[in-house]
Structure 1
Amino acid sequence: MFGLEMPPITPEFWAILGTLILLEGLLSADNALVLAVMVRHLKGDLQRKALAYGIGGAVVLRIIGVLLASYILEYWWLRAFGAAYLAYLAISHFVKNKSAEDEADDKSKGRGFWATVVLLNLTDLAFSVDSILAGVALIPRGMPREQGLTIVVIGGIIGLILMRIAATVFLKLLNKYPAFDHVAYALVGWIAVKLGLETLEAAHEVFPAVPYWHMPTPVFWGVMAAIGIIGSFLATRQPAMSDEAAEAKADAVVHEIDDTVADASDGRIDGR
């Protein structure tokens, strides 16, 4: 059921993988930042304990998400739900006009330990779904399911790695240029359009009365490139802080995550 097959190494393959790395990096950095912010109201060791549950949940939910991607690739009606969710995600981001850090702080205030743990894992679930659906949506509709799933698996693995190895780089980028968050969600919104159109194509094959329009591959990647280039230009025009401040803030989050993982591995997370 979860057979994998390496797709042909083409320019489109590298474009998909490059986009996944960018989105995984930004979403993973957001995820790490949100987890750290959501435990700030807890006292002492409870912060690390809750964060450990949150990090563990992120890993488990990402693995489950990759496995479920097989079904999303196979059934067009599940892709319809995916397109709707990604569209909602992008629209709500711009409508709320609130940073992930501020939103996480508002949600977690006044919550007890277990309520915070539940909220952390619900947040992990949302980030996992965002990431996996974006990966699924980037897969060309005509690509064999085994090859598409391989790309999604690669993206999922990259996401897990980026949660730590490249977390400092992407956190620093988001700290200094918060508008890169907007670029990421603009890309997600355009990916939702692609997935929605492909869903209509698939539905048309089952129900001929359903109207559809086939988006040419160059059009999709041309708009993706335009969003990336123009968005990056606009995002970098107004830095929110200096390089030093952005790096210090990123290092603080990553250091907290590292300490939590180390404590969990040697049994000290519970104060032993």
Structure 2
Amino acid sequence: MFGLELPPFNAETWAILGTLVLLEGLLSADNALVLAVMVRHLAVDLQRKALAYGIGGAVVLRILGVLLASYVLEYWWLRAFGALYLAYLAISHFVKKGHNEAEGVGAAKGRGFWATVVLLNLTDLAFSVDSILAGVALIPRDMPPEQGLTIVVIGGIIGLILMRFAATVFLKVLNRYPAMDNVAYALVGWIAVKLGVETLEAAHEVYPWVPTFHMPQALFWTVMAAIAIIGTFLATRKPAMSEAEAEAEAHREGVDLLETDEQIKQH
């Protein structure tokens, strides 16, 4: 079930890995920002402690998510769930845009320390599912499951590395260009469409009455490139702050994350 096999490192494989780096980076930074918002109501010393538990939970949940990805690759009905969830994720992001921070504060406000820790880990679960499902959805349906799982594992490792070592880089990007998260979620939405189409193809093989469609890989990657290029151009037209301000803010947030990581090691 959990066998791994190296995929051929052709142009498509590199495109998948490059997309995972972009999504993992932006979503991990977004995750870090959300977690920081959710602990603001606690005393400063408890904020660091709660974040330590939260980031520790994120690591554990990401590892479990990678292990469970093999089931999603094998069973079409789990892929259907993944497609619906990713579509919901993208749609809800744009519908609720501008209210996320207020909702994060409202959800955590008035909660005690352990209740906040539980809420943090539930949020980590959601982000871990987002990341793993996006990785699964990028795998071509005709790729052997062992090779697809290897790519998902590599994506999960990339996500953990980015959370630990490259957090300030992506935090700086999101601080200076907040609309970049729109690019990430637009990509997630298109990935959901791809996974949905492939789910219908798989379901049609079992139930011939299910309507089926086919999305050429060239079409998928062309739209992905268009979203990334056009979205980045639009997102970077009006920076929210200067580069120096964005770097200072990202450094402050990054230091908090690194100090929290050190607390995890000490415990």
Q: How many residues align?
A: 267
| In 1, Cα distance between equivalents of 2:175 and 2:245 | 8
Match of 2:159 in 1: 159
| In 2, Cα distance between equivalents of 1:230 and 1:75 | 35
Deviations 1:75-112 (A, max 9, x none): 00000000000000000001111265444223222221
Say if 2:223 is the partner of 1:223: yes
Cα contact 1:183–1:231 (8 A) shared by 2: yes
| In 1, Cα distance between equivalents of 2:37 and 2:259 | 15
Deviations 1:41-86 (A, max 9, x none): 1013211211111010000000000000000000000000000000
Say if 2:241 is the partner of 1:241: yes
Say if 2:32 is the partner of 1:32: yes
Match of 1:112 in 2: 112
Normalised by the length of structure 1, the TM-score is 0.95
| In 2, Cα distance between equivalents of 1:19 and 1:37 | 27
Deviations 1:209-264 (A, max 9, x none): 11111001110000000000100000000100111111111111111122222234
Q: Which stretch of structure 1 is more off in the superposition, 246-255 or 52-61?
A: 246-255
**C-alpha RMSD of matched pairs (Å):** 1.1
Match of 2:90 in 1: 90
Question: 1:1-272 to 2 correspondence within 5 Å?
Answer: 1-98=1-98, 100-267=100-267
Normalised by the length of structure 2, the TM-score is 0.97
Cα contact 1:70–1:145 (8 A) shared by 2: yes
Match of 1:270 in 2: none
| In 1, Cα distance between equivalents of 2:247 and 2:104 | 21
Cα contact 1:28–1:163 (8 A) shared by 2: yes
| In 2, Cα distance between equivalents of 1:149 and 1:13 | 13
1:192 partner amino acid: A
Gaps of 5+ in 2: none
Cα contact 1:174–1:181 (8 A) shared by 2: yes
Cα contact 2:56–2:264 (8 A) shared by 1: no
| In 1, Cα distance between equivalents of 2:48 and 2:5 | 40
Secondary structure class of the residue paired with 2:164: coil
Cα contact 2:86–2:130 (8 A) shared by 1: yes
Cα contact 1:33–1:101 (8 A) shared by 2: no
Secondary structure class of the residue paired with 1:241: coil
